[in-house]
Amino acid sequence: MDHLYEKTLRSETLYEGRIINLRVEDVELPNGKQSKRELIDHPGAVAVIAITPDNKILAVRQYRKALGKSIVEIPAGKLEIGEEPEITAIRELEEETGYSCQSLTEVISFYTSPGFANELVHLYVAEGLVKKGEQSADEDEFLDVLYLSLEELEEMVNTKEVHDAKTAYALLYLKMNQR
């Protein structure tokens, strides 16, 4: 038994939404005392590091209501129920940028906010990019496609136009794996 384990005494789902659910749980701590945990269930997501044949990094600018502003991120999207992350990655890349890819390699997966959410992001590198058509995002998704050099991506991190964990990770990954 994990000596840090927290036993669930009571679990109540307070909200079941389109994307997230909110659960509040009473737990028994390792010392026998009780506490409350506020937990978000999320289906998980993918993100894709994709480099075009002319060596540009694909990125999208998107309005993020949670932040009240637009930021630039690598292509990404939520998993549909039961969907393999690789399938989501291929679909989201094509929907958001119009590019298909010939191969995908998982770089890493990580929980974004383990203190309160179970969202797991699967990060891929896509290779063999081919322009298939125009961007055709979800009906409630509006975005600009950007083609960035490594230097431009890094400058956007410095100016906080890029300001999210997965894209910041992607920049370091690309800097470490420059060809």
- Please indicate whether residue 139 is annotated as part of the active site: yes
Q: Which of 70, 80, 130 is nearest to 100 (CA)?
A: 130
C-beta separation of 61 from 163 below 8 A: no
The interface region with a second copy, picked from 39-47, 85-93, 95-103, 127-135 by CB under 8 A, is 39-47
Pairwise CA distance, residues 105 & 62, whole Å: 25
Pairwise CA distance, residues 88 & 98, whole Å: 14
Smallest gap from Cβ 40 to a second copy, in A, equals: 6
Which 62-101 residues touch a second copy, going by CB under 8 A?
Answer: 62-67, 69-71, 73, 76, 78
The answer to the question of residue 54 lying near a second copy (CB under 8 A) is no
The interface region with a second copy, picked from 14-22, 49-57, 92-100, 126-134 by CB under 8 A, is 14-22
Choosing from 12, 134, 139, 151, the catalytic residue is 139
The answer to the question of residue 150 lying near a second copy (CB under 8 A) is no
Q: How many residues bind a second copy (CB under 8 A)?
A: 71
User: Could you tell me the sign of the dihedral formed by the alpha carbons of 128, 45, 122, 63, in that order?
Assistant: positive
The interface region with a second copy, picked from 81-89, 91-99, 145-153, 164-172 by CB under 8 A, is 164-172
Contacts of 100 (CB under 8 A, 6+ apart): 90, 93, 94, 129, 130, 132
The answer to the question of residue 179 lying near a second copy (CB under 8 A) is no
